[in-house]
Structure 1
């Protein structure tokens, strides 16, 4: 495994590849994303441990969606079982993914628990959009950014390259910082895509002359865009590391599937 240093314009390429690949298998890729969201929502409803479980499955689900994208690039229809690819590569890598999941859950819960302590955050529905709450959310997002960087490539490194969980976080952060320009362009390009789609939805709703139509369109379109974004994540990994996942044997030596 070797880190790639890519020019900033590569971020746009990653976005294009994600969109193009999504439209190769739109039903499968959107369906898998919806299945993951439904699973996370149901898990969050479990008393006491629900939120932890919902967060802990994020790395494994991310890997599953990346594996589905890889299948789509080959012209194959990814089946629902691909979402649990992280736990079908042997006991060692399955345990590593579990560790990664609970590290992610702990990091997210730490941020959302600690940051509000430094703000007089309103709790009523009426004050949810107040400057105080918006300030808190901005700080939470700022603290979440390094978590996102640490875990961006970690699931793929654990699964496809057998990297231990803590080392995978380190390598993920290193490649993100080394290719900061490409990742910044990637994020900006997606923001532009989302704004364009938002404008189109607004125009369609305006032509229909119905605010209800706009409201009905927003949620499914948002979910489809999220599914499309998740498809592009695979290409950030493929472009940032020299070795292809196809070149890596999934079960490490001595591991049992």
Structure 2
């Protein structure tokens, strides 16, 4: 496995490829994403440890979408069984993915715990769905400080876990090394990832604005259905986003010189 440095313009290409790949198999990729989210939501109802288990499943869900996108790009149908791909890759890699999930859950909950020192746990309760956010909470200076503090810590955490599932699955890298290499890859290619993030932000905001205008007109005619359209569109955009992640991985890493063909053989 070798790190590759790409130009900033590659970030635009990643977004384009993600959208194009999604529309090759829109029903399959959207269904897989919805299924992954539903499974994580169901896990949260487990007493005491539910939220932690859901967090631990996030790297596995991310890997499932990466593998599904790779399948779609290569002309194959991404079936729902790919949701379990992290657990069907051999004992060593399965153990590594489980370890990665535990590390993610512990790290995320640690961030929430640190934020609780600032606002008494209000932000953590709101973020984890335990408390609705009203205007009074949103305007609380301690809540806002905890929110920005958590975001500042979560950004480097997300960079470390960005490529880690793919490095474990396709290159057999141990979890801790995968986290290190993922963080280095994101930092070395920060320009491309910045463009990637800005492009996706533009897509989300632009689509949201158009849908807000459309559903605003439809609301008087079809009522609650307009809200469902907004939620559905947001889920589809999220599925597109996760579809594009595999291309960031493909262009950030390559197989070593003299090795067999790269297991992630995606077309350019």
- With normalisation by structure 2, the TM-score equals 0.87
Contact kept, 8 Å, 1:66 with 1:233, in 2: the verdict is: yes
Structure 1 residue 45: deviation in Å?
0.8
* Corresponding residue for residue 247 of structure 1: 262
Looking at structure 2, the residues matched to 209 and 174 of structure 1 have their Cα atoms a distance apart, in angstroms, of 47
Describe how 1:61-210 pairs up with structure 2 within 5 A.
61-119=61-119, 122=122, 125=132, 126=134, 127-132=136-141, 133-208=143-218, 210=220
Shift in Å, 1:86: 1.2
**Aligned-residue CA RMSD in angstroms?**
2.0
Would the aligned equivalents of 2:7 and 2:191 in 1 still touch at CA under 8 Å? Answer: yes
Tell me, yes or no, if the aligned pair for 1:202 and 1:214 is still in contact at 8 Å: no
Shift of residue 136, structure 1, vs aligned partner? 2.0
CA deviation after TM superposition for structure 1 residue 131, in Å:
3.7
CA distance in 2, matches of 1:100, 1:246: 26
**Which 5+ residue runs of structure 2 have no aligned equivalent?**
126-130
- Give the drift of 1:184: 0.5
Contact 1:201 1:214 in 2 (8 A): no
User: CA–CA distance in 2 between the matches of 1:18 and 1:39?
Assistant: 23
**Aligned CA distance change for structure 1 residues 116 and 221 (closer, same or farther; 3 Å):** same
Aligned counterparts of 1:111 and 1:188: Cα–Cα separation in 2: 25
Q: 1: CA distance between counterparts of 2:152 and 2:96?
A: 27
Q: 1:173 to 1:28 in 2, by over 3 A?
A: same
Gapped runs of 5+ residues in structure 1? 250-257
Displacement after TM superposition at 1:119 (Å): 3.0
Equivalent of residue 230 in structure 2, options 211, 214, 218:
218
Render the CA deviation track for 1:202-232: whole Å, top value 9, x for unaligned: 1212332537454222211111111110001
Size of the aligned set, in residue pairs, is 249
